[in-house]
Chain A
Amino acid sequence: MLRIENLTKRYATGDLALEDVSLSVPSGQVMGLIGPSGAGKSTLIRCVNRLVEPSAGRVMLGDTDVVAADRAGLSRVRRRMGMIFQEYALVDRLTVMENVLSGRLGYVGFWRSFFRRFPQADIDRAFAVLDRVGLMDHVDKRADALSGGQRQRVGIARALVQEPELLLVDEPTASLDPKTSRQIMRLIVEVCAERGLAAIVNIHDVALAQQFVQRIVGLRKGQIVFDGPPDALSADVLTEIYGAEDWSATIRKVDEEEEAVAA
């Protein structure tokens, strides 16, 4: 589905954010990307849809080479990738419906979008995803009138209305409380399963990642240092990714399971 080959990003300041990263994510797989701040997690997912231009390497979405795409081609391939943000990235002064419909901008012409004359099929799609994320009662509210969890649901709806093949999710829960974080992660994982979407989820919270994703990739200083199932995250692996620390509380669940198996 998504194939990243030898991706390298060096910023104009000279900082090497990604170094020769290769990775592929099949359809239907939710992959968690963990690593310390500054490891290049955000840069990696922004290189996939070219919000950040890669310095070298290839990004293939299906048969489309994202890096080689011209402006029109980039717009077409971005329609196939939904993005979800840490601070939700909604346009505050627009309504919930307008924010969701902005997910269809890649499909409609300028003047149609200017006068908000979206095709009925797009309106139907918008209502369907709003129903799925549980926001049918808030359609006409302004985005800044919602709570954090509701705002992230709007962000998810905006990504889903694109009918994407891939979700790029950047720290979806970092601004939310623990309970809402779990609800949002569950929602993301569920919609990926329903629609067979591949997803890359950047996430700080290791326990939350272990609970919800099927595969974890660890990034350190722009390089992949771990790639495996959540259960394989050991104290040694976390030290490899983040540096030395007492990890016993973070991965207690796994240890207990291992002890149970041993006993």
Chain B
Amino acid sequence: MPVITSGATKIWRRRTTKAEWARSGAWFAAVLVFVFTWQAMTQDTIWSFVWDAPTQAADIGGRMLPPKWSYIHELWRPLWDTLNMATLGTAMAIVLALPLAFLAARNTTPSVAFVRPLALLVIVASRSVNAIIWALLLVTLVGPGVFAGLLAIGLRSIGFLGKLIYEAIEEISDEPIEAIRATGASRMQVLVWGVWPQITPAFAGVSVFRWDINIREATVLGLVGAGGIGMNLESSMSTLAWNQVTLILLVILGTVVVSEYVSARVRQAVS
């Protein structure tokens, strides 16, 4: 297209003149949208509060330090609850997501026309609702506490795990599958001998990655009453006990660092 013949010479340009104008127009439109949305966003801002922010931050920071170290004794139990919530929720999600993934993957589903869309719907439904929203629903259903948090984590994770595992299943190499089928193996044997060994690295990596995410999510679920260390965070903030808040944030930071380390090591080991 962008080769223009002018006499004997062929002139090459990256784009035609028309395409060049279209691109400039698109950039201009993007700038207009940015300016407009910036105005819409800032017209309700009370600017005196924003200019005051550094003073406020310094004030809260002053009250947050030093952390109230003695409060740690009240945190061990909620921390334990948080870890359990994340771990059991992840385990529940793995058990449910694995068969779901096999039903959703194009190359292992028993029926592309009927079962696959159904499985995809379950996955999308689970993924589209944030764990906090699941927790809000579940706290009203099963009452406040760790159990609600565990279910919220599990329900949210089914979709995440299901999606990433079924994508891994769809990416496996087909030749070994043909070879196993050619031996006279049954469908289930093909799954166990041909598909499963090819997805174990992805499966382990994705599961431990979700566990790691879930530990972080579990720390905030307490804010809506679903148990764990978030409940202490909520009560400390509402009583303006800022030096307790500092300690809680430090404990959460430490936990997340440890879980990320574990997750990285596991993913490294399975390849």
A76 to B185, CA, bound (A): 9
A87 to B181, CA, bound (A): 16
Q: Who on chain A is nearest to B181 by CB?
A: A51
Chain A residues, CB < 8 A from B25:
none
Contact A94-B180, Cβ < 8 Å, known A87-B175, A106-B185: no
Complex interface residues of chain B between 179 and 227 (CB less than 8 A to chain A): 179-186, 188-189, 192-194, 197-198, 200-201
Contact for B193 among A79, A81, A91, CB less than 8 A: A91
B178 contacts the other chain (CB 8 A): yes
Contact for B197 among A81, A94, A107, A155, CB less than 8 A: A94
Q: Who on chain B is nearest to A162 by CB?
A: B183
Chain B residues, CB < 8 A from A146:
none
A91 to B196, CA, bound (A): 10
A78 contacts the other chain (CB 8 A): yes
- A81 CB, min distance to chain B CBs, angstroms: 7
Chain B residues, CB < 8 A from A107:
184
A103 to B179, CA, bound (A): 9
Q: Who on chain B is nearest to A108 by CB?
A: B189
Contact A93-B192, Cβ < 8 Å, known A106-B183, A162-B183: no
Chain B residues, CB < 8 A from A102:
179-180, 183, 185, 193
Are A158 and B179 neighbours in the complex by a CB distance under 8 Å?
yes
A105 contacts the other chain (CB 8 A): yes
Chain A residues, CB < 8 A from B198:
91-93
A83 contacts the other chain (CB 8 A): yes
Contact for A78 among B175, B183, B188, B197, CB less than 8 A: B183
Are A105 and B179 neighbours in the complex by a CB distance under 8 Å?
no
- A82 CB, min distance to chain B CBs, angstroms: 8
- A51 CB, min distance to chain B CBs, angstroms: 5
- A36 CB, min distance to chain B CBs, angstroms: 22
Chain A's interface size range is 20 to 34
A202 contacts the other chain (CB 8 A): no
Chain A residues, CB < 8 A from B201:
93
Complex interface residues of chain A between 76 and 121 (CB less than 8 A to chain B): 76-79, 81-83, 85, 87-94, 102-107, 110, 113-114
A105 to B183, CA, bound (A): 7
A77 to B6, CA, bound (A): 69
| Number of A-B residue pairs with CB-CB distance less than 8 Å in the complex they form | 81
Contact A79-B189, Cβ < 8 Å, known A89-B175, A93-B198: no
Give how many B residues have a beta carbon under 8 Å from the other chain's beta carbons: 20
Chain A positions 59 through 85: 1 when the CB is less than 8 Å from some CB of chain B, otherwise 0: 000000000000000111111011101
Chain A residues, CB < 8 A from B200:
93
B176 contacts the other chain (CB 8 A): yes
Are B179 and A83 neighbours in the complex by a CB distance under 8 Å?
yes
Complex interface residues of chain B between 144 and 203 (CB less than 8 A to chain A): 175-176, 178-186, 188-189, 192-194, 197-198, 200-201
Contact for A105 among B176, B180, B197, CB less than 8 A: B180
Contact A89-B192, Cβ < 8 Å, known A78-B182, A79-B183, A158-B183: no
Are A81 and B182 neighbours in the complex by a CB distance under 8 Å?
yes
A91 to B178, CA, bound (A): 11
Complex interface residues of chain A between 153 and 181 (CB less than 8 A to chain B): 155, 158, 162, 168
- A204 CB, min distance to chain B CBs, angstroms: 18
A43 contacts the other chain (CB 8 A): no
Of B182, B189, B198, chain A has the most CB atoms within 10 Å of the CB of B182
Chain A residues, CB < 8 A from B180:
91, 102, 105
Contact for B178 among A51, A75, A105, CB less than 8 A: A51
Chain A residues, CB < 8 A from B178:
51, 83, 85, 89
Are A93 and B197 neighbours in the complex by a CB distance under 8 Å?
yes
Are A85 and B179 neighbours in the complex by a CB distance under 8 Å?
yes
- B192 CB, min distance to chain A CBs, angstroms: 6
A103 to B189, CA, bound (A): 11
Are A105 and B182 neighbours in the complex by a CB distance under 8 Å?
no
Contact A89-B184, Cβ < 8 Å, known A105-B189, A110-B189, A114-B192: no
- B224 CB, min distance to chain A CBs, angstroms: 42
Which B residues are closer than 8 A to A by beta carbons? 175-176, 178-186, 188-189, 192-194, 197-198, 200-201
- Interface pairs A-B: 7 shortest CB-CB: A106-B184, A105-B185, A78-B184, A89-B179, A89-B175, A79-B184, A83-B182
14 additional A-B residue pairs with CB within 8 Å, beyond A90-B179, A94-B197, A113-B193: A51-B182, A75-B186, A76-B184, A79-B184, A83-B178, A85-B175, A89-B176, A94-B193, A105-B186, A107-B184, A110-B188, A113-B185, A113-B189, A162-B183
Could you list 9 A-B pairs, sorted by A, with CB under 8 Å?
A: A85-B175, A85-B178, A91-B176, A91-B180, A93-B201, A103-B183, A105-B180, A106-B184, A113-B185
